[in-house]
Structure 1
Amino acid sequence: MNTKNLVLMALLVAVGAALYLIIPGYGEGMKPDFMLTMMFIGILLFPQTKNVFLLAVTTGVISGLFSSFPGGFVPNIVDKFITAFVIYALVITFKKFTGNIIATTIMTGIGTILSGSIFLSVALFILGVTIPGLASPMVAFTTLFVAVVLPAIAMNCIAFFIIYPIVKGLMKRTSFKTVLSN
């Protein structure tokens, strides 16, 4: 692995972690996960299996450590890992569209829907986390999906739409070896 690329991926994860920490939680402690946005940018810049694996594991563990959702550690790791490789598959499949900001923003929305769905499914249905005031896991899933995941989709897409072109511009001016420099 290229050390410069590792440093850039670490910086993306660190920025994601900082944003994750400063955004207040709502809807039973859930919050929009800007680490996803940074993970997606990392996957777009460095679309190799080893890089995707590294980004998935680090964002999953860090999100899990900082999660304010009850029992959120394991669901964060599972959702980041699956989401990272699905987005990677989309990036590989639709490679010619990865330079288009609209297409990549749509991928971010798809990834956020997937991530939120996996997170809630693992937490509520597999780990059996109960939410006070919500009778069943299905009611909790639906309520949290509408109250937290849908707004997170909008926020992540807006953040991606603003941040990705800036990162792309910076990458074109540096000696980092990314997909953008080829």
Structure 2
Amino acid sequence: MNLRKNIITALLIAIGFILRQIVPGVIGGMKFDLMLSVIFVCILINQEFKNVMLTALLGGVITAMTTTFPGGQLPNMIDKFITCIIVFMMIKMLGKYKNNLLCVGLIAFVGTLISGSIFLISASFIVGLPAAFSVLFIGVVVPTAFTNIFATIFIYKAVSLSIKATGLKFV
């Protein structure tokens, strides 16, 4: 793996950590997960499977450490690993269209819905949910998915412009 690409991934995850810290909890202590936007951008700019696993590990650990959901540490780790693998496969299937902003937004929306579903399902089995699945899904996951469309596109454009300005080559 390229050290520069790993450093960019780590810096983006640090930005995701900061975003995660400033977002307040909503229903049942759940937060809008803007870390997902950063994770999706990391996978979009560096599409090596090793980077996907690094991103999943770092993103999972950071979200587990900063969760406001009671007992949400393990569900966060589970959801980040599964989501990263699914998003990686989605990006590979999109092929040449993956850099289209419409596709970036679609990846963010679908990826967030997948992540939220996996988190809620795993949390319901491991620690239980503070409200009904449907309430949490509609009240937190769906609004987060719409928010992440715009956040991911914004972060992706900013990172793409900075990479272009520095002359780095990515997949």
Q: TM-score, normalised by structure 1?
A: 0.91
- Structure 2 residue ranges without an equivalent (≥5): none
Q: Distance in 2 between matches of 1:160 and 1:59?
A: 15
In structure 1, what is the equivalent of residue 140 of structure 2? 148
Question: For 1:18-46, what per-residue CA distance to the aligned partner results, in whole angstroms no more than 9, with x for missing partners?
Answer: 00000111001111111110010000001
Question: For 1:69-124, what per-residue CA distance to the aligned partner results, in whole angstroms no more than 9, with x for missing partners?
Answer: 01110000000000001000011111111110011110110000000000000001
Q: Distance in 2 between matches of 1:53 and 1:85?
A: 8
Alignment check: 8 A CA contact 1:75 1:119 kept: yes
In structure 2, what is the equivalent of residue 52 of structure 1? 52
Amino acid at match of 1:71: G
Would you identify which runs of 4 or more consecutive aligned residues in structure 1 move more than 4 Å? none
The structure with more radius of gyration:
1
Distance apart, 1:173 and its partner CA: 1.4
In structure 1, what is the equivalent of residue 118 of structure 2? 118
Distance apart, 1:128 and its partner CA: 3.6
Equivalent residue of 1:71, what SS?
Answer: coil
Q: 2:162 aligns with which of 166, 170, 174?
A: 170
The alignment yields a C-alpha RMSD, in angstroms, of 1.0
Amino acid at match of 1:66: T
In structure 1, what is the equivalent of residue 7 of structure 2? 7
In structure 2, what is the equivalent of residue 129 of structure 1? 128
Amino acid at match of 1:95: G
Stretch deviating more after TM superposition (47-56 or 163-172): 163-172
Alignment check: 8 A CA contact 2:116 2:141 kept: yes
Equivalent residue of 1:177, what SS?
Answer: coil
Amino acid at match of 2:118: I
In structure 1, what is the equivalent of residue 87 of structure 2? 87
| 1:78 counterpart = 2:78 | yes
Q: Distance in 1 between matches of 2:138 and 2:127?
A: 20
Give the count of matched residue pairs.
Answer: 171
| 1:61 counterpart = 2:61 | yes
Amino acid at match of 2:163: M
Q: Distance in 2 between matches of 1:167 and 1:156?
A: 16
Alignment check: 8 A CA contact 1:32 1:149 kept: yes
Q: Distance in 1 between matches of 2:167 and 2:54?
A: 21
Distance apart, 1:130 and its partner CA: 4.1
Q: Distance in 2 between matches of 1:150 and 1:99?
A: 24
Alignment check: 8 A CA contact 2:71 2:127 kept: no
Amino acid at match of 1:155: T
